Structure 1
Amino acid sequence: MSLPLWERPIAIAEALVAKHTVKLAPEPAGEREGLVIVSHAVQSDAVQAQSGSASDSVTDVFASSRDSVDRSDPSATSPITLVTVGDSLTVGCGVASQSEGLTPSMAHALAAKVGRPVRWATHGKLGATMRRVRFRLLPEVTESPDLLVLCAGSNDLMARRSMKEWRADLTAAIDEAKALCPHVVVISSGQVYRSPALGRTLRKAILDMTDAQTAVSREICAAKQVTFVDMTHYDTGLTDAEFWADDDFHPSKRCYQLLANGVIEQSAPDLLDFAKQA
């Protein structure tokens, strides 16, 4: 923590208050897997986008195909398989149903981007650290997906795990993920430092720790040749009231959609190449 000495007791006090006052949203009910089907119009737009001539944005295409989910449609051909593994973001804490969370939103954004159906699944746990991802959640993945996304880190920060521990756990998790899937994406910690449920000085301390963790993650991902997506400072354009769910700690439904679009957009060059190979 790089806070001035006089601010550190304040941050500690605010953390103790938060421990007893913040009521986290639970993991929402709903299926943790599904299939996104894209229309011929979306497929055409995706082909144009890859050639640089499409005018539709990802958000517009996403909205037009939002309801085109069918988990039983046997006519879906050659779907890309997307698996996310991680913390509360991967299981949609803050919204009413799993279908409104980050993973299915990413599936919609990816389907719109590449013009192919996407079969998605998520393995996550509220409060999961990268160590839990490594030892408990990654072993749940029995298939070999086309794209595997690791999403954790905020709980490591809240638990004050050291950067040495973070480096070891993220490195090992990436190695194990690459053994399951050649195309791995790592998403940075979210924007907990903005949470209205936390005190100002504590938020400042969390921002410092998040920036340090993000720098380490970027370095590790570069060395491991996996895609790193920095969502720590991603601007959704939402106000605080729009950004946060009712618990003031997890994203809202609209925020999940925009974050998912941001992940896919930041990964776009790699994803377009990957989609041709998958």
Structure 2
Amino acid sequence: MNPLKKTLLLTQAAIATRRVHLLPEPEGERSGIVTPRDGQTDSQEPIRFVAVGDSLVAGSGVSSQAESLTPRISSRLADATGRCVAWQTHAKLGSTMRRVRYRFLEEVEGHVDVLFLCAGSNDILARRGRQDWVDDLTAAIDIAEGLADHLIVCSSGQPHNSPKLPGMLRKELAKRINAQTEDSSRICRDRGIDFVDVAHAPLFDGFWASDGFHPSAAGYEFAADQVFAAMSFLERL
């Protein structure tokens, strides 16, 4: 990268730091049980669904954990399988895949039916190297496969489309997110793991929360649809 472009990007990043006021993680329980909407359940044990990751898992952008991504995915799992779903999240605003690898996956206890692994945006924003991402994601998958019967990995969010960020910075973030998504997709494909690319999903009016950086309730509803559609293992639950 030439020195002038680097200087401009650093300047825009500094401006963005002052301009973007991230919404906090919402209050509420980070675990619960969801039943199928038709009220009909079989006698099997609830599906155990655990999500680990960054602010997309922590629910930043909505007013309560009940509106966040994990319980929304759980509702779809319950309706599709006719089974109750016991869900739980381990996440924090600002987390990188390294934090997921060394902290949140260590917090998961017992048998897990489905594990949702979601991080990436903060690795991009922290300008971590591409090989660092590959190493951390690969190691996190190794750990996750030992914890769960089924694993689904999610791409980063869409900071490159945030209306709060300057144009040149968005373009640079998009380039890095494209490379990260390519690496993640390849790793998951080679290992036979479901991967969902929400980084390139089409957005719509009302997608963003008031901070212009996290999804709104409607945005999380849309993301839950994307994640659920990428699950290839539903018939085996």
| TM-score normalized by the length of structure 2 | 0.94
State the Cα deviation string for residues 73-93 of structure 1 (Å, max 9, x = none).
xx9752211100000010100
In structure 2, the partner of 1:274 is 236
Q: What does 1:128-277 correspond to in 2, within 5 Å?
A: 128-236=95-203, 238-239=204-205, 242-267=206-231, 270-275=232-237
Secondary structure of 1:201's counterpart equals helix
- C-alpha distance in 2 between matches for 1:113 and 1:265: 11
- C-alpha distance in 1 between matches for 2:162 and 2:25: 19
Out of 176-185 and 5-14, give the one that drifted further: 5-14
1:30 maps onto 2:28 in alignment: yes
Amino acid at match of 1:108: S
- C-alpha distance in 1 between matches for 2:182 and 2:27: 34
* Alpha carbons of structure 1 residues 235 and 112: separation in structure 2 relative to 1, 3 Å: farther
- C-alpha distance in 2 between matches for 1:109 and 1:204: 34
How far does residue 109 in structure 1 lie from its aligned partner after superposition?
Answer: 1.7
* Alpha carbons of structure 1 residues 252 and 42: separation in structure 2 relative to 1, 3 Å: farther
State the Cα deviation string for residues 116-158 of structure 1 (Å, max 9, x = none).
2211100001100000000011101012210001000000000
* Alpha carbons of structure 1 residues 76 and 260: separation in structure 2 relative to 1, 3 Å: farther
Amino acid at match of 2:72: S
Q: Which runs of 5+ in 2 are unaligned?
A: none
Aligned 8 A contact 1:183 1:274 in 2: no
Identity of aligned residues (%): 45
* Alpha carbons of structure 1 residues 250 and 39: separation in structure 2 relative to 1, 3 Å: closer
Aligned 8 A contact 2:37 2:79 in 1: no
- C-alpha distance in 2 between matches for 1:94 and 1:76: 36
Aligned 8 A contact 1:32 1:121 in 2: yes
Amino acid at match of 1:274: R
- C-alpha distance in 2 between matches for 1:244 and 1:271: 30
- C-alpha distance in 2 between matches for 1:266 and 1:227: 6
Amino acid at match of 1:90: V
Aligned 8 A contact 2:194 2:230 in 1: no
In structure 2, the partner of 1:66 is none
- C-alpha distance in 1 between matches for 2:149 and 2:191: 11
| TM-score normalized by the length of structure 1 | 0.81
Amino acid at match of 2:235: D
Provide the aligned length of Structure 1 versus Structure 2: 237
State the Cα deviation string for residues 57-104 of structure 1 (Å, max 9, x = none).
xxxxxxxxxxxxxxxxxx975221110000001010011000100111
State the Cα deviation string for residues 9-53 of structure 1 (Å, max 9, x = none).
33221111112221111111000001111144787xxxxxxxxxx
Amino acid at match of 2:193: V
In structure 2, the partner of 1:57 is none
Amino acid at match of 1:118: V
Q: Which runs of 5+ in 1 are unaligned?
A: 44-74
- C-alpha distance in 1 between matches for 2:40 and 2:172: 44
- C-alpha distance in 2 between matches for 1:272 and 1:138: 23
**Which structure is larger by alpha-carbon Rg, 1 or 2?**
1
Aligned-residue CA RMSD in angstroms? 1.9
- C-alpha distance in 2 between matches for 1:28 and 1:39: 25
- C-alpha distance in 2 between matches for 1:108 and 1:40: 11
Secondary structure of 2:13's counterpart equals helix
In structure 1, the partner of 2:11 is 13
Amino acid at match of 1:206: L
